[in-house]
Structures are given as structure tokens and as C-alpha cells.
Structure 1
Amino acid sequence: MIEVSGFWRDSALPFVEARRVGDGRQVCYAAHSHESFSLGVITGGRSTYLSGTSQVEVGAGTTVLMNPGVVHTCNPIAGQGWSYLMLFVDMPWLKALGFNLPAQTCSTSPALYSAVLQVFADLFDGNLDDREARLACFFNALPDYLQAATGKTQAHHPQLEAAAAFIRAHRTDPLTLQDICAASGLSRSYLIRAFAQRFGLTPHGYLLDQRVQYARAQLRTGRAIAEVALEAGFADQAHLQRAFKQHLAATPGHYRKA
């Protein structure tokens, strides 16, 4: 029987996490982001991939790349079957390698696809004693598989960036829209409209996403779900359950026991 979805973690490699999805029709996401650098490969079928302002249809053989904080979704097309593997790597480990975040969000390079599949094979092989070195070798070589950056950058808006930074810094606090407006010096109406255009989520949606990310990090350590829910700013465990499932297509319990 095909496993719908499963997470992989190894205490010997605490900076990396993987996910295997065998039936993507049952694993659908709301718009969300990750604190880690994420990349994955579509191993079967097709889906719609939205990353920032870019939307493409991706199929088997495609590699997708997601930088930290970039809002994205990847969901099935009209019930069509699809499957994929995802890798989530902590930024401090990558920064220690001197890794620079790529501008490219997807690739159909067969060479990259094969290299990513080999990364997963190496990680899942607990008999290898050089898994970290192999992973480091892959990330050092990753730029060679990707297109050179075009130089096009998103317009910088200091007040919107300040609003997002304020939310991240206070994500576990009982924030109000008025608090965010005061911290960024923006009006309520402008903040709601411009924030969504810049980040792909409303300020409230961004706050919720940040709280889910915080809860995810805490659950990885094995902490109690109810305790994490309250600490992350959710009303109760049920509130966390709903948000976690919408953002990560998994329940907190399923994720925690991986």
C-alpha cells in the first residue's frame, strides 16, 4: 500500500528533515512558508506550484526550490495523482557551508533531479557514515545545476519589511493589527493591501504562518502538543491542530512522532 505521507528525521543529522508523499491528492496546503531552505522532486504525476508571484505546472522529473520565508503552495491538479520528496535544511548549517540562496524556484534539469534523488537515497541509508559530507557536497555543487541569476530583484519597502520583522519578533505574543501599524508607521488599509502584495499573505495570515513555524520547531524536539500550542500563541490545541493541518498537510501528532 502506498504511504500517503511520512516524515523522516535522524538524531545524527538534526539540521535536516525529509518528507515522503506517495499520494499528493490527500496532502493539500494553504499558502505557507518555511524557516528552512527547502527543495524537492516530483516523482510522479503533476501539480500546480505557486512560489511568490510565480505559478507553474510541474510534473515528474521537476525539482522545486523554496527559500526561507517565501510563501508558496504545491497542490494537485483536479484530483490528478502525484507524489514527491521534500527536503528541509536549517539555514545555520547551510550558512556554515557558505551557501547562497538561489533565485531559481524550479528546474527540469535531469542531472539535478538525479542528484537530488541520490541525496535522499544517501540520507535514508543509515549504514553510511559520511551522510553529512555527501549532503554538503551536494549543496556546494547545487549552483552548477541552476541558471545564473538575472539580477532582477523585488522592490524594497522598508516599512513593509519592518512590519514583517515585527511580526516575526513577536509571533508568540497576542499581536493586533494596530500593534503592527504602530511598529511600521503604516495605515491599517495600506498595510493590509500592500503586505499581501509583498508577502503573499495578509498580516494575520503571516502571523499565523509564523506561529505554525514556531510550533513545528518545538514539536521536532518532542514537546507536548498542548503546551506548544499555548506557547505559540494559539487559543488551544484544537486551534493549533487546524492551522497546522492547513499549512503543513499533517496533524501535529503525526508530525511529532516521526
Structure 2
Amino acid sequence: MIEASRFWRDPALPFVEARRVGDGRQACYGAHSHESFSIGVITGGRSTYRSGGQWCELAAGATVLMNPGVVHACNPIEGEVWSYLMLFVDMPWLRERGFVLPQATHSVSPALYGRLLDVFAGLFDDGREGREAMLAAFFADLPGYLDATPGARQAQHPRLDMAAAFIRAHRLDPLSLEDICAAAGLSRAYLIRAFRQRFGLTPHGYLVDQRVQHARAQLRQGRSIAEVALEAGFADQAHLQRAFKQHLATTPGHYRQG
């Protein structure tokens, strides 16, 4: 039986991380985001998928794509068994190869699904040579698989984007809502209402998500959970544990171990 959840990393490929989930009922997510570009395939069952302001149901054979910072969630339908593979790729590595973030949030292309399964198989084969070249070729070819129709970009809202950027820049500081309002030039009532409509989280929820992402990056480097929790602005290790599990459907300890 496929393991309920396992993270994959390789020191030879420090810019990429993967997750294998054999029973998604044990890995349910709250709304969250990633600092990396994320792409994955549903390999069994069905799930709900929310990305930004869009929502749909997807089944085995579908590919999902999440751009950095986009709030999303993908969970099983009514407790059904479902499984998936996810790939998280650091943006600096992608930018060096001229990668342009796609507009599509999902695809049902069999060709893309099959190609991505081949990529996962190649990554998990520690003895395979040329794995970085394989990844580079995949991302160079990715635009050709995507239909530009699904997941069109949201309309721009400069002041809300400014508020989100301010939160990201100060995510380790003891931010107040007033600080964010002042930086973006928005009233408290408008910021709370409009921010959630645009990003899928309240300003506070977005701040917590950003702190979880910081903790994730630090744990990936092997740092202690207690130290990372305090640095990221959580009251203690237990506080980080609750937020981490809600946002990433795993515990800090399980993630750190890989």
C-alpha cells in the first residue's frame, strides 16, 4: 500500500522538492500558499480544488498548477480516497531558465499528465543521470501543454497587492492591522473585506501563512522546530505545530524528516 504521506528531497537537486500522498483523507489542507512554483497530478479519486477565486472538482488524470503566493486548497470529496504527487520548484532556478508563470490553474491534458508522471519517476530514481536536464526540458515544454483558458489572471488591485507585499516583507515582525492599512493607504474595514475577496485569506490569515512558509524553508535546512517557531513569530512550538498542520497537512517533525 502507498504510504499516506512522504516528502522527497535530494541534496543533488536542492531547488526541488516533491510530496507523495497515498491517502489524501489524511492530508487535508486549509487555505495556504507556497513560495515556490507548484505542479502536481491527481493519481486516484476526486478532489475539490480552489485557486484564488476559482473552484472546481478534479479527478485522477488532472494536473494542478499553483503560482507562488496564490492562496489555494485541494481536498478529497466527502471522505473519498484520493492520491496525488506534487512538485515544488524554487523560482530562482526557474527564472534562470526563462520560465514564465502560467495563467492556467489546472489541466486535464492526458499528454501533460503522462509527461509529469515520467518526471516524477525520473526524480525518484536516484541512479538516473541527467535529472536536472530532464526537469529543465519539462518546464521548457510546459507552455505547449497548457490551454490558456482555465484560470485567467485576476484583475490587478495595486493597493491590495501592496498590502500583501508589505505583509510578505514584514512577516517576521509583530505586525498590526493598522501597520498594514497605513502602508497600503486603505481603511481597516475595506482592507479586511477586499483582501479576503482577492487572496482568499484575511490579512491575519495571510500573515500566518507567510510565517508557515518561512518555517517550512528553515525546517528544510534541518533547523530545530522550537528555534524556528520563535523566529517565525509563533508563541511556541505547539503554536507552530497547529498552524503548520492546518496549512500544509503535515507536522513540522514529519516535514523536517522528509
TM range (shorter): over 0.9
Contact 2:5 2:19 in 1 (8 A): yes
- Where 1:92 maps in the other structure, the secondary structure is helix
2:28 corresponds in structure 1 to 28
Cα deviation digits, residues 154-201 of structure 1 (max 9, x gap): 222221111111100000111111111111111111110011111111
Matched, 1:46 2:56: no
Secondary structure of 2:154's aligned partner: coil
Deviations 1:19-67 (A, max 9, x none): 0000001110000000000010000000101111111111110011111
Distance 1:152 1:50 in 2: 14
- Moved beyond 3 Å, runs of 4+: 148-153
- How far did residue 153 of structure 1 move? 4.0
2:171 corresponds in structure 1 to: 171
1:257 and 2:248 correspond:
no
TM-superposed deviation, 1:93: 0.3
Task: Evaluate the alpha carbon distance shift between residue 225 and residue 150 of structure 1 in structure 2; reply closer, same or farther with a 3 A threshold.
Answer: closer
Aligned to 1:73: 73
Tell me, in whole angstroms, the C-alpha distance in 1 between the residues paired with 2:38 and 2:152: 22
TM-score (norm 2): 0.98
Q: Distance in 1 between matches of 2:151 and 2:48?
A: 26
Deviation of 1:151 after TM superposition, in Å, equals 11
Query: What SS class does the counterpart of residue 175 from structure 2 fall into?
Result: coil
Q: Deviations over 1:121-180 (max 9, x none)?
A: 010011112000001000000011011368954222221111111100000111111111
Partner of 2:193: helix, strand, or coil?
helix
Please give the per-residue CA displacement for 1:196-247, whole angstroms capped at 9, x wherever unaligned. 1111110000000000000000000000000000000111100000000000
Q: Distance in 2 between matches of 1:195 and 1:61?
A: 33
Residue 254 of structure 2 is aligned to residue 233 of structure 1? no
**Structure 2 equivalent of residue 112 of structure 1:** 112
User: Matched residue of 1:39: which SS?
Assistant: strand
Aligned residues: 258
Aligned to 2:18: 18
Cα distance in structure 2, aligned partners of 1:37 and 1:159: 24
Q: Partners in 2 of 1:167 and 1:119 — Cα distance?
A: 35
Contact kept in structure 1, 2:105 and 2:151, CA below 8 Å: no
SS in 2 for 1:182: helix
User: Which residue is equivalent to 1:214?
Assistant: 214
- Are the structure 2 counterparts of residues 233 and 9 from structure 1 closer, same or farther at C-alpha, using a change threshold of 3 Å? same
- The one-letter code sitting in structure 1 at the alignment partner of 2:224 is A
Give ranges in structure 2 of 5+ residues lacking alignment: none
Task: Give the deviation of 1:252 after TM superposition.
Answer: 0.2
Secondary structure at the residue paired with 1:154? coil
- Cα-Cα RMSD: 1.2
* Structure 1 residues 88 and 153: alpha-carbon distance in aligned structure 2, compared to 1, 3 A threshold: closer
Structure 1 counterpart of 2:246: 246
Q: Distance in 1 between matches of 2:22 and 2:214?
A: 26
The separation in 1 between residues aligned to 2:201 and 2:31, in whole angstroms, is 8
Is the CA contact 2:119–2:134 (under 8 Å) kept in the aligned structure 1? yes
Structure 1 distance, partners of 2:76, 2:248, is 15
User: Could you tell me which amino acid in structure 2 is paired with residue 202 of structure 1?
Assistant: T
Partner of 1:89: 89
**Cα separation, 1, equivalents of 2:192 and 2:179:** 13
Could you tell me which runs of 5 or more consecutive residues in structure 1 were left unpaired when the two chains were aligned. none
Q: Percent identity?
A: 76
